[in-house]
Amino acid sequence: MIDDMKAEDVSGPEVTLESICVPSDAVVFREIEGDVIIVPLVAGIGDADDELYTLNETGKAIWQKLDGRRTLAEVAAALTDEYQAAPGGLEADVLGFAVEMTKRRILAVRG
Amino acid sequence: MTVQALPLWSKLAAKGAPHAFDLELTARCNNDCRHCYINLPSGDATAAAAELGLDEILGIGREAVDMGAVWCLLTGGEPLLRADFGDIYLGLKRLGLLVGVFTNACLVTPAHAELFRAYPPRDIEVSVYGVTRETYEAVTRRPGSHAAFLRGLDLLAEAGVKVRFKAMALRSNLGEFAEIAAFCRERTADFYRFDPLLHGRFDGDAVRNAEIEAERLPPEELVALERADPERFGALERGCTDGMVFQPSGEHDGCDHLFHCGAGQGSFTVGYDGTFRLCSSLCHPDTVYDLRRGTLREAWVEWVPHVRDLRGSDPEFLQKCRRCSLVDLCLWCPAHAALETGSMDAWVDYFCRVAHARAGALGIDG
């Protein structure tokens, strides 16, 4: 879901479907010409040689629903409605995205 | 992913939006380099009073970000002379810009090193004037600057901050240029470049321009230096082979447009006093726009096309430069011609001799 990012195994806070995730203070995110761009602000985000990151369409759709109020389950439900997916079918995708992004300090768990 | 690899890059280009800009934070410098095109004394109160303030800089940064800019280079003068450098640097990074810094490293403090460690720049490029104290300070004309430079480099290295190096090839340091290259390559796996092409002062100071001229290498020595650098000379050769450097003869026949370069095409420069320029060297009064009297968007949308439509009329320029097939081997451009002569459409003898010497080395008939 995040382009050109290799795995870096760091333990992040536990993320569940009841978590509310928001962009972390360690990055700045921008939308330019329809693309979501994530610009690392601090050291140690992702790979050393990467300057910034873009999200693919799935990642972008999830990211845009992370409004600081909805839980990940609610995000998945909203996307399920929007894309007319099978009930519960997107929860694993949303959770996987949030876990990966939280490990990389791009997302933070609120509360 | 690198900036250039993003699909975003081509989207911005297709839209004609700016993707990058240079910000000269000050024209002042702690050094007094013989070849410098901009430096004013560090204590120059008039220059300091004219500098953009933090709020003005961040305002310009916000406008640039709104227009799509991704990359910002902080330069000078010496940008670390500014007491509010950290606020400027972090403020621009927090807007979502990738921020680079050009510095001579002499003023790097532990606080700067910690700032760059915690909030990494896209890159830091350090200018190297010599490896011995004698040579370094013959160029900078500041006793103690060599030790300060080494101390600054050490602070950056201890903080794990990667640096790139740039060296200007001058008569004053040519004798140890091989040692300069070795010094730089030993200290960075990242990047080292040298530049043998010196252009005139932004302020037109005649005494300082004479000093710059005195530092220029004769064309034959300049080309010999380039030939000795396989990377640099190889790039020139490849450019010719690929048709990217060698312009087919007659391509510009009949055209009197001054600008065939990339000035104002995706990037721009903001001077320390808020003047908008299409490129870092273009200071001619007919081409600058005061951002204290208008917006960046107005400058980009309205002023840039106006400047790019300017024409040349000097017969010598039209006869020689505009018909020349070696234009891409030449330092000539409207900006450099204006710095040399005051006129954007003037032929410049030194530039011409360098271009022909390069062509000779590459086996091209000019």
Strand ranges for B215-305 from DSSP E: 267-270, 275-277, 289-290
**pLDDT at position B103 over 70:** yes
Residue A65: which residues within 8 A CB-CB, separation 6 or more?
Answer: A75, A78, A79
Q: Band the pLDDT of B255: cuts 50, 70, 90.
A: confident
Spatial CA neighbour of A53 closest among A3, A107, A6: A3
User: Quick check: B242 pLDDT over 70?
Assistant: no
Phi, psi for B80 (deg, rounded to 5): -75, -5
Whether residue B77 has a cis bond before it, omega within 30° of 0: yes
| Distant-in-sequence, close-in-space partners of A3: CB < 8 Å, separation ≥ 6 | A53, A54, A55, A56, B1
Name the pLDDT band for A4 (thresholds 50, 70, 90). very low
CB neighbours (10 Å) of residue B256?
A: 14
pLDDT beyond 50 at B169 = yes
Residue A3 lies inside a defined structural domain of this protein: no
pLDDT at B233: 82
3-state secondary structure of B50: helix
Alpha carbon of B93: minimum distance to chain A alpha carbons (Å): 7
Q: Which residue of A has its CA nearest to B11?
A: A33
Q: What is the mean pLDDT of residues B184-197?
A: 83
pLDDT for the residue numbered B246? 46
* Pairwise CA distance, residues B302 & B299, whole Å: 6
Return all residues near B332 (Cβ < 8 A) that are at least 6 apart: B321, B347, B348, B351, B352, B355
**Domain count of chain A?**
1
Residue B279 confidence (pLDDT) above 60:
yes
pLDDT digits 0-9 by tens, A47-73? 655 678 889 888 999 999 999 999 999
Any domain includes A47? yes
- d(CA B202, CA B334) in angstroms, rounded, equals 13
Candidate from B76-85, B124-133, B187-196, B237-246 with smallest mean pLDDT:
B237-246
* Residues near A4 by beta carbon (within 8 Å), at least 6 away in sequence: A50, A53, A54, B1, B5
User: Closest Cα of chain B to A38: distance in Å?
Assistant: 8
Chain B: give the shortest CA distance to residue A70, in Å.
Answer: 25
Interface test with B, best of A28, A51, A105, A106 (most B CBs within 10 A): A51
The 10s digit of each residue's pLDDT in B209-236 is 999 999 999 999 999 999 988 878 887 7
Kindly report the CATH number assigned to the domain that includes residue A26: 1.10.10.1150
Residue A74 domain-assigned (yes or no): yes
- 3-class SS shares of chain B: helix, strand, coil, % to 5: 45, 15, 40
Digit-coded pLDDT (tens) for B106-140: 999 999 999 999 999 999 999 999 999 999 999 99
pLDDT at B274: 98
Residue B68 touches partner A, C-beta closer than 8 Å: yes
Q: Which amino acid is at B325?
A: S
Mutate to test the interface with B, among A2, A28, A52, A106 (most CBs of B within 10 A): A52
- A34 versus B141: the higher-pLDDT residue is B141
The answer to whether B16 and B120 are in contact (CB under 8 A) is no
Whether A42 is covered by a domain: the verdict is yes
B43-57 average pLDDT score: 98
User: How many of the other CB atoms lie within 10 Å of CB of B348?
Assistant: 21
Handedness of CA B159, B163, B169, B170 (dihedral sign): negative
What pLDDT does residue A1 have?
45
Longest Cα separation, chain A: 40
CATH topology of domain B17-217+266-310: TIM Barrel (3.20.20)
Q: Which domain holds residue A27?
A: 20-110
Considering only residues B96 and B318, tell me which one the structure prediction assigns the higher pLDDT.
B96
Determine, yes or no, domain membership for A5. Answer: no
At residue B65, does pLDDT exceed 80?
yes
- Among B3, B4, B8, pick the best mutation site for testing chain A contact (most A Cβ within 10 A): B8
Residue B133 tokens read as: 């104290």
Helix (H/G/I), strand (E/B), else coil: B271: coil
Supply the pLDDT for residue B261: 86
Residue ranges per structural domain of chain B: 17-217+266-310
Q: Which of B123, B36, B107, B120 is nearest to B74 (CA)?
A: B123
Using the beta-carbon criterion (under 8 Å), do B98 and A32 form an inter-chain contact? no
Which H/E stretch holds residue A92? Answer: helix A91-103
Q: How much is the ipTM here?
A: 0.83
Worst-scoring range by mean pLDDT, A31-40, B211-220, B349-358?
A31-40
Q: Which of B142-151, B257-266, B353-362 has maximum average pLDDT?
A: B142-151
Does the pLDDT of residue B64 top 90, yes or no?
yes
Say if residue B251's pLDDT is above 70: no
Query: What does the pLDDT average to over A93-107?
Result: 93
pLDDT at A9: 41
Q: What is the rounded average pLDDT for all residues in chain B?
A: 91
CA distance B44 to B15: 41
Long-range contacts: B155-159, Cβ < 8 Å, 24+? B155/B108, B155/B109, B155/B110, B155/B112, B155/B113, B156/B105, B156/B108, B156/B113, B156/B116, B156/B124, B156/B126, B157/B187, B158/B113, B159/B113, B159/B114, B159/B116, B159/B117
Is residue B331's pLDDT more than 60? yes
Question: How many angstroms from the chain centroid is the CA of residue B217?
Answer: 19
